[in-house]
Amino acid sequence: MSNHRLELAHITKRYPAVVANSEVSLTVAPGQTHAVLGENGAGKSTLMKIIYGAVAPDEGTMRFDGRPVNVRNPQEARALGISMVFQHFSLFDTLTVAQNVWLGLDKSLSLAQVTRNIEAKAAEYGLDVHPQRLVHTLSVGEMQRVEIIRALLTNPRLLILDEPTSVLTPQAVDKLFVVLKKLASEGCSILYISHKLHEIRELCTACTVLRGGKVTGVCDPRQESNASLSRMMIGAEPPALEHHARQAGDVVLRVRDLHLRAQDPFGVDLHGVSLDVRAGEVVGVAGVSGNGQQELLYALSGEDARAPAQSIEVFGRAVGRLGPARRRALGLHSIPEERLGRGAVPTLGLAHNLLLTRGESVGHGGWLRMGNLQKQAADIIARFNVKAGGPNAAAKSLSGGNLQKFLVGREIDANPRLLIVSQPTWGVDVGAAAQIRGELLALRDAGCAVLVVSEELEELFENCDRLYVIAKGRVSPSVARADASVPQIGEWMSGLWEGAHAAA
């Protein structure tokens, strides 16, 4: 028995509404990189939290290095040598990176030592993070890097990673995999949660598949195909996307030489950004998070209306100074990366959340026609196959994927002429992601101009007709998807494209 690093037997966890884990058993050998594969809501995160002591199981046993253990909290887990990088970050916004890391470690080190250790680990693994920055100024990708460094600093014997690669450049993913393989060769076991099948097949030596809280398969992913893994995970293969080449129409969005100082002291200034999006094409903006994507998106959506009017044109109209509502009236709709709290008000029902961007149910004098609003929400829920308690279900009661389907549905249903989407499938399960991509392509085929800003290259290559790359607040020339390669785009993501030096 003692040759297993971790052994779970018959773990069951019930929540008031659902059984998150039912009779789950799983074994991880020392030095093994073990994938846990499953759709959102399959119970992966709950299982990991149980191992990490953040959630107590109702039934079942856990052994670590052959000995029965009762991990009552994350401190005990860390004392055992279990570290975790969460999908939802547990960082304090008002503290610096170093302070956050320091809080999670035992208190034998001084803050200055921790700062040095962070710099050393960051350099060793190529994870670019400044220890003195305040966490609230970091992008999602940067926060994840902090979490990874924090986990590595505890020299774990079992490292749990929840969707770690979604915010890395392909080169950085390769680098991370080198790190993880090195860790594994040093005897550290890794539990790797992901929905990216090719990553799992490349990295992992064992795989446990969960569906609906139950184990539906244990396999060696190197022996499996994407299709067979996908079948175990969702019971079916995701529909293949049909991507027809299509003649693009007139320019809808024209950005010319947009310079904009960041509002946030740690934000990224935009330098001479120029880009075009034509009717009937999907244009992607690739880049590692924190390179000016947020600033660009706010300038385009109108949340930041400080841009010179002429620098942003929609259908030939200078809109740089218009707010989001005025731009929406021109047909420009946007879907933010942050779904809860920006794209939707967490505590309000779905119907009310329509009112953020939709005015069809608003009558004379701003009077709300509640019946209409309910029906409108119910229609979107039905049309986009959103799993929700109904039009009045609070936005925060939906899973990430379902909320995203609703938000995408809300904007697509408005028949936009220009749609700007940020990270459309971030943290969304395979089925929902395929559906969202399909909807975006359908919108394109209907003649809408679509701009997708994403950190997932795979997704951009799958969806887009043309690609730009954003790095350090500058935007590269565009390249047709057919002419683009992953290594080339990856290099551009570091800011190295032809003419970049002349511009700099």
Interface with other proteins (CB under 8 A): 2-3, 15-17, 30, 56-62, 64-70, 76, 79-81, 157, 187, 301-303, 323-326, 328, 334, 336, 338, 341-348, 352, 355-357, 359, 362, 365-368, 370, 394, 397
* CB nearer to other proteins: pick between 58 and 250: 58
400: number of CA atoms within 13 Å, CB side? Answer: 18
* CB nearer to other proteins: pick between 110 and 347: 347
* CB nearer to other proteins: pick between 280 and 343: 343
User: Can you tell me the distance from the alpha carbon of 484 to that of 213, in angstroms, rounded to the nearest whole number?
Assistant: 40
Residue 355 Cβ vs other proteins, minimum distance, rounded to whole Å? 5
Residue 289 Cβ vs other proteins, minimum distance, rounded to whole Å? 17
Q: Which two tokens stand for residue 143?
A: 């926060």
162 and 84 in contact (C-beta within 8 Å)?
Answer: yes
| Residue 337: CB atoms within 10 Å | 20
* CB nearer to other proteins: pick between 251 and 414: 414
441 and 282 in contact (C-beta within 8 Å)?
Answer: yes
* CB nearer to other proteins: pick between 183 and 197: 183
The dihedrals phi and psi of 150, each to the nearest 5 degrees, come to: -60, -40
Residue 440 Cβ vs other proteins, minimum distance, rounded to whole Å? 19
* CB nearer to other proteins: pick between 73 and 132: 73
Residue 106 Cβ vs other proteins, minimum distance, rounded to whole Å? 13
Contacts of 22-27 spanning 24+ positions with Cβ under 8 A: 22/213, 22/214, 23/60, 23/214, 23/215, 24/60, 24/210, 24/213, 24/214, 24/215, 25/215, 26/208, 26/215
| Residue 328: CB atoms within 10 Å | 20
Per DSSP (E only), the strands in 94-181 are 158-162
Residue 51 Cβ vs other proteins, minimum distance, rounded to whole Å? 13
* CB nearer to other proteins: pick between 32 and 115: 32
Residue 93 Cβ vs other proteins, minimum distance, rounded to whole Å? 13
Residue 434 Cβ vs other proteins, minimum distance, rounded to whole Å? 26
Residue 100 Cβ vs other proteins, minimum distance, rounded to whole Å? 22
3 state SS of 293: helix
* CB nearer to other proteins: pick between 3 and 225: 3
Residue 393 Cβ vs other proteins, minimum distance, rounded to whole Å? 10
* CB nearer to other proteins: pick between 256 and 342: 342
Among 168, 4, 6, smallest CA distance to 84 is for: 6
* CB nearer to other proteins: pick between 57 and 290: 57
Q: Which two tokens stand for residue 62?
A: 């856990």
Residue 15 Cβ vs other proteins, minimum distance, rounded to whole Å? 7
3 state SS of 169: coil
Among 47, 128, 144, 53, smallest CA distance to 91 is for: 144
Residue 473 Cβ vs other proteins, minimum distance, rounded to whole Å? 21
DSSP secondary structure letter of residue 244: -
Q: For residue 266, give every residue at least 6 positions away whose Cβ sits within 8 Å of its Cβ, in sequence order, or none.
A: 133, 134, 137, 138
Give the β-pairing of 312-314 and 251-260.
antiparallel
* CB nearer to other proteins: pick between 232 and 373: 373
The dihedrals phi and psi of 221, each to the nearest 5 degrees, come to: -60, -25
Max Cα–Cα distance, the chain, nearest Å = 73
Q: For residue 85, give every residue at least 6 positions away whose Cβ sits within 8 Å of its Cβ, in sequence order, or none.
A: 144, 147, 148, 150, 151, 159, 160, 161, 162, 164
420 and 451 in contact (C-beta within 8 Å)?
Answer: yes
493: number of CA atoms within 13 Å, CB side? Answer: 27
User: Can you tell me the distance from the alpha carbon of 18 to that of 214, in angstroms, rounded to the nearest whole number?
Assistant: 12
* CB nearer to other proteins: pick between 368 and 382: 368
Residue 194 Cβ vs other proteins, minimum distance, rounded to whole Å? 27
Residue 349 Cβ vs other proteins, minimum distance, rounded to whole Å? 12
* CB nearer to other proteins: pick between 68 and 477: 68
Report the DSSP beta bridge partners of residue 7.
27, 63
Q: Which two tokens stand for residue 26?
A: 């799983």
